Chains A and B, each alone.
Chain A
Amino acid sequence: MADARVPAELLRAVGDDLRPVRPLAPPWRRALVVAVLAVPVLAQAPLAYGWRSNIARLGPGWAWGVSIVQALVGLAVLVAALREAVPGRPLSRRALWIAIAAASAAIFAVTLGTEQALPAAVPPGVWLRYAWECWEISVVTALPIFAFAAWLVVRALPVRPALTGALLGLGVGVLVDSAMRLYCWVSAPLHVLVSHGGAVVTLVLGGALVTTAVDRWAGRRGRQPR
């Protein structure tokens, strides 16, 4: 049994640094802050490059309605990541699978549904260029949101940093893709899944790598990032 008295050295270290702190906000509120930041960032792509040329033919339901639903799924996954980030609040295996399945289902359903509602193929000869452009714009657009959300995650001290980071990347990826589909007029599943889906996968891998790297860096320095 450990001595119930605090060792003098530990007590001194804690006493020297003791000041009131405000407890972390619940995950949904932290995700809401991400959403507030995300709105102007996500508006950049369609505002800079123009709304998808066939948005009127797609109709408000398939354009805005579906994007809003997809964004909400992305935010829900982000809430899960922010919850998982806090020690003692691990997601169950089932919750994890539900989050991953919901995100994947959202991307597939939106892609296939949009293709059904308004087929639009990539013009011949530009497949690779279109794929590269959409991937690049998706990833670049995601970066500020991703960086902010990653900061929220790592400062919460995740016990499973790689998993938490991957979940964070998935949430941000789905969120960003909900805006990208308002810019990219192509609805061919191959383009959407490879290019837009590829960006989501990139963010998933990036999330896992970044949070793991920060965790290791913090571990070597013997402290948590603030």
Chain B
Amino acid sequence: MDSPDDSDADLVALMVDYQAGRLAAFEALYARVAGELQRFLAAVVRDPQVVRDLVQETFLELHRSRRTYRPPLPVRPWVFGVARNVVRRHWRESARRARHERPAPAGDAAAPAASSAALVLDLQRALDCLPPAKREAWLLHHDEGLSFKEIARRLGIGVDNAKLRSSRAMGALRALLGTRPGGPGDG
């Protein structure tokens, strides 16, 4: 895998070729960023099948909006910006579908989950309550293990802003889960 900052110049050249209408450039771009995109999407969506769908949807959206990329700006923030748009729409559509779904009858309830599974579920629900920007920063740092510098580059924001988002997400999670500071640190 390429390190996040190794070859933005190559990616810029690929995007220029892609905008010029070369299919090989799209294939090369896919090969270069699909893995990173998949990890990013997996960190914020979880369901592997949905992640695969969203990777494809993101590349379709990248294709439709390829003119919005302006060389020689870094490619990754643009790619991940488009991916965030795709995820945002996915969440909105999921929420809309959930509102229209009928609740399952009480008799269909699954057997009580193990406490660790319940905790994961609680965390997932708490994460779902966070604003997308904070959730992304927290997941990228705590789940994907990216440094704040890497998160900043990926999301196209400042390092301080990445720290702030993650820190505020942690505070909100603690409040939602009813835990006191002193648990897993945020830094």
Residues of A within 8 A of B (CB): 1-7, 9-11, 13-15, 17-24, 26, 86-90, 92-93, 155-157, 159, 216, 219-220, 223-224
Contacts and interface: CB of A to CB of B under 8 A. Distances in A.
Contacts, number: 121
B63 A224 contact: no
Contacts of B34: 2-4
B78 A14 contact: no
B37 A88 contact: no
19 contacts: A3-B34, A5-B31, A6-B59, A13-B60, A13-B63, A14-B63, A18-B21, A23-B68, A24-B68, A87-B68, A87-B78, A87-B82, A88-B74, A88-B82, A93-B161, A155-B68, A157-B82, A220-B93, A224-B64
A2 B59 contact: no
**How large, as a class, is the contact surface on chain B?**
35 or more
B55 interface: yes
A24 B21 contact: no
B88 interface: yes
A2 B27 contact: no
A88 B79 CA distance: 7
A20 B22 CA distance: 8
Q: Is the interface of A mostly helix, strand, loop or mixed?
A: loop
A167 B59 CA distance: 28
A109 B181 CA distance: 46
Contacts of B19: 20-23
Contacts of B63: 13-14, 17-18
Interface in B48-101: 55-56, 59-61, 63-71, 73-74, 76-82, 84-85, 88-89, 92-93
B105 to A, nearest CB: 30
Contacts of B26: 6, 11, 14, 18
